[in-house]
Each structure stands twice: as structure tokens, then as C-alpha cells.
Structure 1
Amino acid sequence: MKKWIVRLGGALVVLALVVVIGLMTWEPFYARAGEAPAAGHTYSAEIIRDEFGVPHIYGKTDPDVAYGVAIAQSEDDFFTLQDVIAMAKGRYGAIAGPDGAQIDFAYHLVDARGTAERNYAALPEDTQALFEAYASGLNDYAISHPAELKLAGLFPINGEDVAAGFALRQPFFFGIGSIIGNLVEGKPLRREFGPDIPGFPRDADGAVTEAEAAPEQASATRFPLPWGEMAALSGSNAFAITPEKSGGPSTLISNSHQPWRGGVSWYELVVESEEGWHFAGANLPGTPYPVLGHNEKLGWTYTVNRPDLVDIYQLEMDETGTRYRLDGEWHELEEKTEILPVKFGPVVLPIPQTFYRSVHGPVIINDNGAFALRYAKMDSIESMDAYYRLGRAQSLEEWMAVYEKMENPNFNAIYADAEGNIAYLYNAAFPDRKPGYNWRGVLPGNESSLIWEDTVDFEQLPKIVNPSSGWLYNANNEPYTAAGAADDLDPADFAPELGVELKQTNRSRRAWKLLSEANQLDRDALERIKYDRAYEREGYVSDLWDALERMKPENGKLDEARRLLLDWDFTADGKGSGDALALLMIKDFMSAEYQNKDLPDVAEQLQWSVDHLMEHFGRLDPPMGELLRLRQGSTAPFAVDLPLDGGSDTLRASTTWQVDPDGRLQVVHGDSFIMWVEWLAGEKVRSRSIQPFGAAVTRPVSKHYADQSALFVRKELKPVHFWRVDVLKNAKSRKTVTSRR
């Protein structure tokens, strides 16, 4: 009997080991097999790195350069590039666990792979050639560096795989993530409401207020996910100045606020081919070209805008839950089950998830019903071509002609050129919606007349070219404050069903005020504005301080903190005794206002801030630079730990942070890639730039891991070597890379 028990126990152990090994190894075999680009192309690129390790990539053809882009960025950040490719294949959960699985859920929900398969072949041949070369570069690096691979079977890839990544990320830049997350979790849909549409609530002053588009509801999804991380808060500042207003050059200031690490962080590069492509700027991982920056004659930058590009329909379902009514007829809901790989410790679990679609678009079912989504450029990857064409434009007319095709779904664009032109475009592929409906609420899903097909004409978009003020800006605000009182657009000129946003940020209020007050906007004046660290007592800042004035804390320490805040000078420059406390108070209010969430409870926020400062610093007024830190790495020789200033929603932006074990706030999102471009009459274009860390942001053993950090903290810029003669003078390494085939 004992022997039998021992044998049974041994068999169970063996079975358990088999199961564990199976769960550790099944995913690469189950995943969609990768295919390399078609054989027959050989690429060659020269990569020259300057004193800061920034790659300058040269090639005979544009595809040669794209191949070099892949190699150079892999050398610096193959870690992040693999994450981006895993997302583009629906396999990120096998790397990042439940947090990665939320991306995979979205990948299947929006049918990113299907979008790429249906549309990639229709892209212009030269654009496809660019992406095939880029994919070849990533494949070659993966083959040469097998020890760096995170996930088996992730490579090879081809241009269509990269296109799937575009299809996935595109709608998240205009807010679909929070909508998906709220529907999946059964939370209320909070959205900014527009003007002059019946049923939109207003406060006592007539201002439009937020409303809930759906009641609280329990989720019935089989795989609930932490969706809050999918709606990453992104911001930016952008400025363009004419020669007349600057007293010298045409000036473009790109001041993006993106996460400092990860799949939407900036990577600086300069590209040049013998086919005429020559551009300096930055790209995002998984992109074979810079998407903002400048060429010899012109440049532009982006800020994230918040147009209403997503519509939500509640479907009328039959008793079986498998059919929906449209124009009086029943239609079968499309249904498809996918396996999501989700890593837990050493094993990867296969989690089945069913996805639904109607003629409207992807469908999410919860206890309150079935909700369909339809969003701008839903089955399109045309932006892949548009960004490439923008980089090759040589005039304002050519640049605008790309946008006139309405292929890019969103982003504010600020432009300047060597001829002295400046321009602002509130770019948004607004759906051509039927008037008379509350398009920011939940629409009836049984009327086909509400299922739009096309976008509005380019002429309907807000835009300003060469204003009399001589300046343009955007800081993630409505397009109606952009150029000064004499030139700003009138909201009444734009149809309410477009869905133009109607919000200001503190950065926009400060920028508009400072630009309007300046007689001349020379370099010194612009630096003061760009690095301004003040708050206006308006909007959510005013609401917060009004609430502090009304408070009557019984706790002595809370009252001391309250008085410290009431005496604050509203400037996050690290000099005031209330700066650290104000920093802790403001961030969550800024975030809630930006994302249309309820404002935090002031008393609770104050208590948390007091507790945090007393626990970690033993005082309410530590120097701000001791609290707010730029940190990269933890060991010598290239780790940094430096003080920062600025705050959430100041023009010098330290937007969001993580709280480290020592109580310090490590900034993870804020001023990121900054580029300052000047065209002076009769001279060649010149530019300067800076990043918080360095070119090799995930390579701790590289001297370029954080070699820009000290300059960044001091608010200094480094030179961009746009011209080859300058690159060669400052070259620290130089090599030629050639494809394997």
C-alpha cells in the first residue's frame, strides 16, 4: 500500500512538472508564426554617433536609412522595441503579465492585425519599402543578439507586423483607452461635453459641465483588466514665432511631454539619404522615421489634442444575446475567441477571451447591455504614409497638402519655416456626423443613419496661418486660444457636432498671457516662457485653493499645512517653503481635470500630503528639490539622482511621478524631448535639443545612459548636428551596417 502511495505521489509530481513545463513553453508554439520580408533586398547604412551618442544615419536610399534606424535604435533600446513588437503581435501579456494582457485585449478588440492585413498592400510602394527595410533591421539585430531576446519566436517580423502596431496605438492617442476601460470595468463614461447641444447640463454660470453617459454597472467580461494604465496622460507645449516678432529667426520650439521610458517615449535621431530625405527629430519605438522635428526648410511639432473622435452606441439585443436590431432587422453579432497569453511568475496561462463586432465596430458586453464603438480612421493605416510624406515636405503648401488628405487622425500641429511662415492646425479626422444628436452621449445603435462613413472636409478644421501677433502656441488646450486676442478663432464658427475640445490647461493660460504681454519674443524671452513654473489661480487650481480657504481643520498639523498653502506664491521654482506641499496637492487635481474624472477630496489629499512629508522628511516644508527627483539607475558609474523643479501642468513640466521607497518622487512623465529650431535669413538652419536621460536609456553600462540629465536639470540644450560636416567634426563612433541578405 505504501509503495502504491509513493508511486502515485511520484506520478503526480511528474504530472505537475509536465503541466508547469507546458505552461512555461506553450506560448511561442501557439503564437502566429513570423515571416521575414521577401528576399532580394540588401540594405546598407552608415551610423555616426556624436558626443551624446545621438545616431546620424546615412544611406543611398530611404530604405537603407530605415534599416539603419532599426539597427541604431536596437543598439540603444532593444528592450523597449521588443515590447512594441510584442504588442503588435498580441503577445505582450507573455512579457508583462496582466498589465500587458490589457494591451493584447485591445489589440484583438480593435482588430489591429486585421486592419494591417486589409490595408498594408494598398500603401504606396515606397512606404512599404521603408517598413520592410525597418523590419529587416530589427530581424538582423535579433539574430545577432539572441541573449537579449525576451520572448521566443517574436522574430522575424515584416512591415505588416509593424503596421499592426500602428493600428493598435493610433486610437489610444485620442482617448479610446479610457472608454474601453470604463466599459470593461462597468464604470461611468466620463467625457467632456460640447456646447449648444440640447441636453448638455450647465452650471450656474452657464459653463458646460461633465456628465455621465451611462450609469454605474457591473462588468460581465470574462477577463477584467487594470485599464487605468491604458489611458496614459500625455501633454506637450509648442511655440512658433515669426522673424518680425523674434527680432531675428523664425523659431520653432518643440516641447513634448511623453513618458520618459517605454513604448511611447522619444528617441532622437538624424536621417539623411541621397534621395533627398534629410530630417532631424525624434521617433517613437516601432517607427522607421522621425515624426517631429525639422528639415532644412521647415519643421513642426505636435501636442496631444482631445477631439471627440469616438462614438458609443448601445445595441438593441434579442433574448439570445447573439443578435442586434438595426433598422428593424436582426443581425448576427460577429464572435471570435482568442487566447490571451498572461504571464504569472514563471508560467504563461492561456486565457480564452471572446470578442464581438457589429457593423458599427468593436462591441463590449457588460451587465448593462452591449455597447459598440466607432472611431476615426477605424480601419486605416494611412497615417504610416502621411508621417513619411510630412518629413519630405519642402514648403508650407506641400506640408498642408499632406494634411488635406485627412489621413492622420489627431494631434495639434505647430509649424514654422525658413520663409518666415508659421501655422497652427487643430488636426482631427472628425466623423461626418448627422446634426441634432448628442454625439458625446450614448447613441441608439438601432439606427443606421447614425453610422457615419467619412470624415469632414479639411476646410472645417480649426487652423491659423501667419497671425498678426507673430506667434502661435498650443499647450493641450482648446484651439480658440492660440495666437492672441486679435487672431484667435471664434468657437461659434465651428459646428458643435464636430467635437472640438473646450478646455484650458494651466500651461495654456500661462503661455497665452506671457506671449500676449511680450513686446518681442527673442531667445531670452522665449526661454523664460518655456521654463515658466507658475500657476494661474484659475480652473482646478482656483477650485483647490477656494476649498482650502473654506476648510477649518481641527488637526493642528493640517491647519499648519493649510496656512502654508494659502501663503504660497503659486510658483513651483523650488524656492518657496510651500513648494513641496503644493506639488503633492496639485498633481491629482490636474490629472482628474484632464481625464474628466471627479476631483479628489481636498481634506483627504491634504492629509495624505502631510503624512507623506512628515514620514519621509519630518517637516512640511522640505526643499522641493529634495522631494522631486530625476532618477535613472541605481548603481555607478552612470546612474543619476538629481533635483528637479516645475510641477504638474507648469510650462516647465514635471507632470507625473512614482513614489520611491525613500519617499522621493521619481518623475516618469513630463518635459521629454525638447528641440529648439531657428531659421535666420541667409544662414543655414540650426537647432538644439535635450532629453531627460540619454540616447541609451535602457543600457546602464553605456555612457549615454543618462549623460544629458545634468543639462536637462540646468535647463540647457545641446547642439543638434544637422549638417554632415558638423557631424564629422563631433563624431565619436562611425560604422557601416549591411543587411544579412
Structure 2
Amino acid sequence: RGAHLILNAMAGVGQAPAWSQQKYFPDLAGLIEGYGSNAWAVAPHRSVDQATYLLINSHQPLEGRFAWYEVHVGSAEGWNLLGGTFPGGPFPFVGCNPSVGWAHTFAYHQLADVYALEVRGRRYRFGEAWLPFTTRSIRLGVKGLPFALRRTLRSTLWGPAFRVRGRWYAFAQLTYTETRALEQWYRMGKARNFTAFRAALALHALPTFNTVYADEEGHIALFSYVHLPQRDTLLSWSLPVERPTPRHQLQEKVPLTDLPAVVDPPCGYVYNANQTPLQATCPEARWHPPRKLIGLQRFTYNRGERLAELWPRYDGRPFSWEDLRAFKHDRCVATEGSYRRVFAPLFSLDPARYPHLAEPIQALKRWSGCAEPHDTLTALVMLTHVFLSKAMGLSLPEATILGYQPTEKEAVKAVVQATRTLRKHYGTLYPRWDTVLCHGRGGIEVGVGGFWESLEARHWRYDAQTGRLQVTGGDGLYYWVKWGPQGQEVWSIQPYGASHDPT
């Protein structure tokens, strides 16, 4: 799992297929935790009430150290910031003050590189030279052990070195010495207009986030100001890099002027749902790279694809508050997108070939593609995905991003298991989705809709004893921010309400 997190947070999911094919890393197919984010902003000329709207909707676990906690920071000198932070955070990392607001989504650019090393004894090859590893010894205190563990750390001119199943690799990124992230968030929260906010972004201290922005003056924007390395376009940057040379060293970041930015597009909206920033607004206003940028994220998947279907439906007319809320709580897969392509083997199973599964196969084919709470086909589809994920070693989002289709054998096995589970625990193939998917705490539960990759995001844990799915992440704390003729309004939505006291 540590390797999975490295690849997810550092190297970038866009390079995952190359990793998963390496015999040294057969477990790297499960590279993503599955969490994502939604964010969008709408300009006043595109809203019915002439207001600016901002959605802040990061999909996080509902419990633990990466669950959002709502805070409101104020000071005598005028600091007034509302938003979400993590335990230990000194102030909000997403949110708004009376004048500006912002959201973050994770950007899956290739932010780091891994190098396959040639090693002889205690030396590694660096061009034509064989250099000694730089080493240092450390002592690690481990809870529960009465003594410290001693380890030797090794590094190269490319970066830290590690050994996996007998082979040495070096890892490089440009964020080792970056310590100004908190300063940038602080300045973003203190900004009172677009100029000041963009000046805060100019610190270029946040390595992995897209930022969606809106303000009281009606400006909207999307920035993907990440730590993308400058890479020599004449070299091969496979993952891992085989036979790396001194020219493969990462030296500098791509400057902000060459990174994705969409400011005040004429169509009046920007959005990101972890898809490529090349598709962050209407087609005519999209950002285009000024030069070849190796490692720039270019893939998209269901939430981004679904939004690309929804926005054009309002061409030529403004959005209402109800329209924007309907976008956020959409529970459907894209009509034509990666989900339909990747899981085509499941939905195209032939009932004549598997007569004992004819009923569930036909039911799968009838599914509308929307995980509504009252729907009676979604439970079969999603429980099939639970077992399909185990068979494939990939979650639904992972398979969708990587384009890995299930085999017919895997699909059939998953349908068999889902069918047995439904008949055992519910006595039918067709229970309402909200009787299977539950959100709750402290003995209080409510049935809900949505799924992992819908805009109304639900991540879950499967309970084999009951056949139920318990929501563990996705839509937690999120915000709607509005600047209109009557001033600012903020709606905050908490996953468990505003108090731990049920009374």
C-alpha cells in the first residue's frame, strides 16, 4: 500500500499502466484510494439571479485524519475565513472569506519519476561513471517495541533509492524542500480580490492541486499550478526510466506561465472533477499547452465526462440555483464514456450462454445508469462491482481510469456472487438501492443513493455478514458559496450534522 500511495500522490496515475505491467511491481494495479473531488464556479452573467456561485466539494473519508473539520477563523484585524481543515491544520485549506473563495481537486499529473538503477556492489551507474550511494543511518522508534530500529537510507543524484524484490530504484520529485504551502494557504485566505489571490498562487508552493476560484466581483477561474518538472522532450520518460542518464535529473518546475489556467471564460463556467485541466470549461475557452509538457494529465473519467454532458444542456440560457444543485446531486454514469467502455464485457454478457444467470444478466442490461435511491436494479449492479473489484484487484474508479476491462470469466463470477448475496440477504434481485447503501452513525442510519464515481459521491465498505454497504467517504463537508445582489450566502453541508450530541 505504501507503494500505491507513492504512485498515486507523487508519480501520477497517468503512468500507472506502465507500472502495473512491471514484474517487479505486480501489486501496483491497486494504485488509487478512489477518492476524488468536485469543484465548479459560475459567473454572474450565466446565473438566473445574476449571482456568482462556487461549489467546494472534496471527497474525503468521513472519519479519521483526512476527514474535513469545519472551522471559522476570525481576528481583530479583519481575518474572516470559513472552511474545512484536517486535524492539526492551523486554518482552512478550502473555503471562503467575505470576498473570495476557492476549492481544490487533486491533479493527476506525473509529478515525479522513478529510475531503474544499474548497481554494482555499493555503487550505481550515473552516465559513464559508477558512483557510491550517499548513505545515512537512522533510528526509528516503533510504538510497542522497547528498542529503536536501525535502518540505512541510501540516495543517488536522482533522488532517494529503494530496493523492491531485488532491484534498485531511485525516486525523484521537486517538492522535497518546499516548505511554503501553509504560507500560500494563509495568503489565499487573506486575499480580498482576484489580484491578491493570484499573487498568493504565485508562490507556487502547492504541489498537487487544481484550484477553482470565484469572488464577489464576478471573477471565476481554474488553475492547475502544480509542481510539474521540466523534462527534456528528447529523452524517454517511461515509468520506470530504464538506463537513466544525468539529463534525467529533475532540476526545475514548469513555470506558472506555462501551466493550465482558465480565467473568466465567455461561457461563464469552469469545473474540475479530477479530469484533465485541458477540459475545464466550454470547448471554445479551453486552455492549450504553449509547448510540449511531458507528464501533463490528459485523461478523464466518469465525473468529468458526466459534467461535460451536463453543461452544454444549458447553452443559450442561464443556470438557476436548482440547476446547479441538480448537477451536484447527479447520480448517473456518462451516457458515452469510460465507464461504459471499460465495463462493456459485464453489460454485454450473453444470457443464452449462461442460462442459469439469464435473469440477473437481463437485469444488468436494463439498468438506466443512474444510482437513484429508489432504483431496484442499482443494487445488483453495484454489488456485482464489489465482487468484480476483488476479482480484478481494482476498484471501480481504478479500472475506469486505467481502462482495464474485466474478463468474461471475472464478470460471470461477480454476477454469480452478487446474485447469491441479494437472494440470501434480501430475498430478491431487486431491493431498493437505499435499503442496501446506508449512511449512518451512532445507531442512526438513512438510505442514500449515488456510487463511487457519481457526482453525488458515495464510497463504501461492504459488510459480508449483512450484505449491506456502509458509506465511509465521498460527499462529506462541502460548501455552496454565492455572491449576489443581496451579498454573500454560504451553505455548508455536514455528513453527520453540526454536533456530536444526538440530543
Corresponding residue for 1:690?
Answer: 493
Contact 2:18–2:238 (Cα < 8 Å) also in 1: no
In structure 2, relative to structure 1, the CA distance for the partners of 1:250 and 1:452 (3 Å cut) is same
Contact 2:437–2:469 (Cα < 8 Å) also in 1: yes
Identity of aligned residues (%): 26
In structure 2, relative to structure 1, the CA distance for the partners of 1:627 and 1:388 (3 Å cut) is same
Q: After superposition, where does 1:194-213 map in structure 2 within 5 Å?
A: 210-212=17-19
- Residue 289 (structure 1) aligned with residue 91 (structure 2): yes
Inter-partner Cα distance in structure 1 for 2:25 and 2:304: 38
**Which of 596, 599, 604 is 2:402 aligned to?**
596
- The CA deviation at 1:172 is 5.5
Inter-partner Cα distance in structure 2 for 1:399 and 1:570: 40
In structure 2, relative to structure 1, the CA distance for the partners of 1:261 and 1:443 (3 Å cut) is same
Q: After superposition, where does 1:641-680 map in structure 2 within 5 Å?
A: 641-659=445-463, 661-680=465-484
Corresponding residue for 2:250?
Answer: 452
Per-residue deviation, residues 610-665 of structure 1 (Å, max 9, x unmatched): 232223222211111111011213xxxxx321111011211111134342632211
Letter in 2 for 1:328: E
**3-state DSSP of counterpart to 2:477:** strand
- The CA deviation at 1:306 is 0.2
- Residue 628 (structure 1) aligned with residue 433 (structure 2): no
Letter in 2 for 1:591: P
Corresponding residue for 1:541?
Answer: 340
Contact 2:301–2:401 (Cα < 8 Å) also in 1: no
Q: Single out whichever of 481-490 and 581-590 deviates more from structure 2.
A: 581-590
- Residue 387 (structure 1) aligned with residue 179 (structure 2): no
Per-residue deviation, residues 580-613 of structure 1 (Å, max 9, x unmatched): 1122234645322356384443223222322322
**3-state DSSP of counterpart to 1:360:** coil
In structure 2, relative to structure 1, the CA distance for the partners of 1:617 and 1:213 (3 Å cut) is closer
- The CA deviation at 1:391 is 0.7
Per-residue deviation, residues 245-279 of structure 1 (Å, max 9, x unmatched): 11221110111111111111100011101122110
Contact 1:480–1:488 (Cα < 8 Å) also in 2: yes
Between Structure 1 and Structure 2, which shows a larger proportion of strand residues?
Answer: 2
Corresponding residue for 1:719?
Answer: none
Letter in 1 for 2:490: S
- Residue 512 (structure 1) aligned with residue 311 (structure 2): no
Corresponding residue for 1:373?
Answer: 171
Corresponding residue for 2:35?
Answer: 234
- Residue 334 (structure 1) aligned with residue 167 (structure 2): no
In structure 2, relative to structure 1, the CA distance for the partners of 1:255 and 1:337 (3 Å cut) is same
Contact 1:573–1:646 (Cα < 8 Å) also in 2: yes
Q: How many residues align?
A: 489
Q: After superposition, where does 1:254-333 map in structure 2 within 5 Å?
A: 254-318=56-120, 320=121, 322-333=122-133
Contact 2:379–2:430 (Cα < 8 Å) also in 1: yes
Inter-partner Cα distance in structure 1 for 2:223 and 2:385: 30
TM-score normalised by L of structure 2: 0.89
In structure 2, relative to structure 1, the CA distance for the partners of 1:314 and 1:227 (3 Å cut) is closer
Inter-partner Cα distance in structure 2 for 1:550 and 1:308: 36
In structure 2, relative to structure 1, the CA distance for the partners of 1:414 and 1:599 (3 Å cut) is same
Inter-partner Cα distance in structure 2 for 1:441 and 1:230: 14
In structure 2, relative to structure 1, the CA distance for the partners of 1:596 and 1:337 (3 Å cut) is farther
Q: Which runs of 5+ in 2 are unaligned?
A: 390-394
Contact 1:174–1:309 (Cα < 8 Å) also in 2: no
**3-state DSSP of counterpart to 1:619:** coil
Corresponding residue for 1:361?
Answer: 159
Inter-partner Cα distance in structure 1 for 2:31 and 2:205: 24
Corresponding residue for 2:392?
Answer: none
Contact 2:280–2:286 (Cα < 8 Å) also in 1: yes
Contact 2:333–2:339 (Cα < 8 Å) also in 1: no
**3-state DSSP of counterpart to 2:435:** helix
**Which of 362, 369, 383 is 1:563 aligned to?**
362
Inter-partner Cα distance in structure 2 for 1:337 and 1:660: 45
Corresponding residue for 1:192?
Answer: 14
Inter-partner Cα distance in structure 1 for 2:130 and 2:14: 33
Letter in 2 for 1:242: A
Contact 1:281–1:293 (Cα < 8 Å) also in 2: yes
Contact 2:19–2:25 (Cα < 8 Å) also in 1: no
Contact 1:586–1:648 (Cα < 8 Å) also in 2: no
Inter-partner Cα distance in structure 2 for 1:546 and 1:176: 30
- The CA deviation at 1:336 is 3.9
- The CA deviation at 1:230 is 8.5
In structure 2, relative to structure 1, the CA distance for the partners of 1:324 and 1:347 (3 Å cut) is closer
- The CA deviation at 1:546 is 4.7
Letter in 2 for 1:237: N
- The CA deviation at 1:462 is 1.0
Per-residue deviation, residues 363-409 of structure 1 (Å, max 9, x unmatched): 11134521000013122222121111111111111111222232111
Letter in 1 for 2:423: M
In structure 2, relative to structure 1, the CA distance for the partners of 1:350 and 1:644 (3 Å cut) is farther
- The CA deviation at 1:574 is 2.2
TM-score normalised by L of structure 1: 0.62
- Residue 175 (structure 1) aligned with residue 5 (structure 2): no
**3-state DSSP of counterpart to 1:655:** strand
Contact 1:361–1:374 (Cα < 8 Å) also in 2: yes
**3-state DSSP of counterpart to 1:453:** coil
**3-state DSSP of counterpart to 2:284:** coil
Corresponding residue for 1:245?
Answer: 46
Corresponding residue for 2:292?
Answer: 495
In structure 2, relative to structure 1, the CA distance for the partners of 1:531 and 1:402 (3 Å cut) is same
Letter in 1 for 2:370: T
Inter-partner Cα distance in structure 2 for 1:473 and 1:643: 29
Inter-partner Cα distance in structure 2 for 1:650 and 1:434: 38
- Residue 215 (structure 1) aligned with residue 25 (structure 2): no
Letter in 2 for 1:592: E
Inter-partner Cα distance in structure 2 for 1:543 and 1:367: 31
Letter in 2 for 1:503: F
Inter-partner Cα distance in structure 1 for 2:244 and 2:193: 47
Contact 1:214–1:442 (Cα < 8 Å) also in 2: no
Contact 1:238–1:254 (Cα < 8 Å) also in 2: yes
**3-state DSSP of counterpart to 1:192:** helix
Inter-partner Cα distance in structure 2 for 1:685 and 1:676: 11
- The CA deviation at 1:216 is 0.7
Inter-partner Cα distance in structure 1 for 2:492 and 2:94: 12
**3-state DSSP of counterpart to 1:486:** helix
Inter-partner Cα distance in structure 1 for 2:424 and 2:148: 43
Inter-partner Cα distance in structure 2 for 1:399 and 1:174: 31
Contact 1:578–1:621 (Cα < 8 Å) also in 2: yes
Per-residue deviation, residues 701-721 of structure 1 (Å, max 9, x unmatched): x416xx8xxxxxxxxxxxxxx
**3-state DSSP of counterpart to 1:480:** helix
In structure 2, relative to structure 1, the CA distance for the partners of 1:469 and 1:362 (3 Å cut) is same
**3-state DSSP of counterpart to 1:413:** strand
Inter-partner Cα distance in structure 2 for 1:228 and 1:446: 24
Per-residue deviation, residues 66-89 of structure 1 (Å, max 9, x unmatched): xxxxxxxxxxxxxxxxxxxxxxxx
In structure 2, relative to structure 1, the CA distance for the partners of 1:599 and 1:213 (3 Å cut) is closer
- The CA deviation at 1:496 is 3.7
- The CA deviation at 1:289 is 0.5
